[in-house]
Amino acid sequence: MTQYICSKMFTDINMKFPYNSVKNCCKTKDIHLEIDELKNNKNIFIENTDYLKRKAIMLFENRLPDACDYCLKLEPNNWFRSSYNVYHDKKIIFTNDEKKEMYKGDKGRLFEFVLSSVCDLKCVYCGPKDSTSWAKETNQNKNVGNEEWKNLILDQFINYLKNKDFTDDPCYYFSFSGGEPTYNPETIILLEKLINYVPSHKLRLQFSSNLNTKKNIFDKYVDLINKHSNIIWQFQCSIDCLDKQFEAIRYGAKWDRVFNNLKILLSLDNVQVRLSPTLNIFSLPTLKKYLQFFVKLFNEYKKPLNKRIGFNMVMEPGLSIQNLPKHYVKYIDNALEYCILEKLDYAENLKRIRNIIGNSITEHTYSEIVHCIQYFENKRPEINWYETFPHLYDVLKTLNPNMPIIDYQEHFIPPNARFHKNTICLPS
């Protein structure tokens, strides 16, 4: 029998300030904490009502709570059954006493901050709530959280660190994402506080970055890394494709700048670099080429890729690999064969997700993909999308053999209608 206890619910704290939200896994639904609750609870990260309810369902009812909707949708090919969940090992079976201790105990060891939605890019699967550049393009307001709420949470978190016992685990991870964290001046301010309260030999500082950071800002981070050489710095680099395809998917990024910043990080002894591609309808066919390129690069710096590649993918209709025709599984198989040859742990992710190719095709899939492409053609006309991603025509023709010549202006749907949160994937 499966033990439905996920480590993320117990070891992680995720603070999303633009959403006034705290939760314990980036794939779960937000927990919205009111200001009065923050003022009246001195241990909000452990004792808030919604969090305790989610833990109880896992511990005492042995099931995933409704808040874990992403994993429930993808069962059994989900994050719960992946290496992200360290409790999934069949050797780890918790006793009733251990479960009671876990219910109100503190096992926090990974803390994620989304300080703002400030971002210089308009990635195809993002949206206005998580990118100020997207908000500007779609004429929407920037997603800005309540300042009082943010200050209360940060004060509580610093107090939490002051009273925390750091002897339980060998390492404690503090992760910054966004938006683009390197463009937010608050990031360095908070970094310096963390360095004061967490034992440096146990401190791991993580950044989910697009690496498009301009030199004058990037140099500040390099200086800080060199200054605190006893701390391990980890960069999860959001790179989905190479060169022109990368610039189209991560719209606004400059490949040469990103590649140069990546090589600088690889050259630093106390920096660990990890790739964080988000598989999507545009990137899948070149996955093997992508892996070959970075295996060679990482080897040049004597930092083998192996476990240094994360797993993520777009979920919502229009850009999801679930919308690709079944024969596109060959691209997963080609990449999988290469991963096995190079002994990359990424192979386990590919084995799991190969089963989802083509399993979410509906009568609306063709029009959803067309609508997405139309938006990009209209708003980003300097990119020839069908030339940059030659497989797109095959995808559409397979989904609709009688596909007419598309009049993109006639079929164009305004962005506010098309890029609703239930249509296009927003980043976690």
Predicted confidence (pLDDT) at residue 39 exceeds the cutoff of 90: no
- Per-residue model confidence (pLDDT) at position 8: 93
pLDDT of residue 43: 81
**Per-residue pLDDT tens digits for 197-218:** 999 999 999 999 999 999 999 9
The span from the CA of 278 to the CA of 289, in Å, is: 15
Residue-wise pLDDT for 240-269, tens only, equals 999 999 999 999 999 999 999 999 999 999
pLDDT at 294: 98
- Give which of 3, 23, 131 is closest to 69, Cα–Cα: 23
Is it the case that residue 417 has pLDDT exceeding 70?
A: no
The pLDDT value recorded for residue 416 is 34
HSE-CB for 94 with a 13 A CA cutoff = 21
Report whether pLDDT(92) > 70.
yes
The fraction of the chain above a pLDDT of 90, given in percent, is 73
Q: How many other CB atoms sit within 10 Å of the CB of residue 137?
A: 18
- Give me the pLDDT at residue 198, please: 93
What distance in Å separates the CA atoms of residue 407 and residue 428, rounded to the nearest whole number?
34
Under the banding of pLDDT at 50, 70 and 90, the label for residue 286 is very high
What integer pLDDT is reported at residue 307 of this predicted model? Answer: 84
Which tens digits make up the pLDDT trace of 156-190?
999 899 989 999 889 999 999 989 999 999 999 99
pLDDT-derived band at 420, boundaries 50, 70, 90: very low
Copy the structure tokens of residue 383: 């990119």
Q: Which residue has the higher pLDDT, 402 or 412?
A: 402
- In angstroms, the CA 222 to CA 271 distance is 10
Answer for the pair 168, 104: CB distance below 8 angstroms, yes or no: no
Which helix (DSSP H) or strand (DSSP E) does residue 26 occupy? none
Please report which confidence band the pLDDT of residue 77 belongs to, taking 50, 70 and 90 as the band edges: confident
Pairing of strands 12-16, 21-23: antiparallel
Question: Average pLDDT, stretch 220-237?
Answer: 96
Q: What is the Cα–Cα distance from 326 to 335, expressed in whole angstroms? A: 16
Predicted pLDDT at 404: 65
pLDDT the model gives residue 428: 29
Residues 6+ apart with CB under 8 A from 236: 206, 207, 208, 209, 274, 275, 276, 310
User: Where is average pLDDT lowest: 43-57, 82-96, 107-121, 139-153?
Assistant: 82-96
Q: What's the pLDDT tens digit per position in 129-149?
A: 999 999 999 999 999 999 999
pTM of the model: 0.85
Q: Over 80: is that where the pLDDT of 2 sits?
A: yes
Per-residue pLDDT tens digits for 96-141: 999 999 998 889 999 999 999 999 999 999 999 999 999 999 999 9
pLDDT of residue 275: 97
Angle ∠(201,202,203) on CA atoms, nearest 5: 95
User: Residues with Cβ < 8 Å from 177, sequence gap 6 or more?
Assistant: 112, 113, 114, 207, 208
pLDDT digits (tens, 9 = 90+) for 352-389: 899 999 998 999 999 999 999 999 999 999 999 999 99
Q: Give the pLDDT score at 103.
A: 93
Q: What is the pLDDT of residue 210?
A: 96
CB 161 within 8 A of CB 153: no
How does pLDDT run across 331-349, given as a tens digit for each residue?
A: 999 999 999 999 999 999 9
Mean pLDDT of 82-100: 86
The model's confidence at residue 405, banded by pLDDT at 50, 70 and 90, is: low
How much is the mean pLDDT over the chain? 90
Residue 419 has pLDDT above 60, yes or no: no
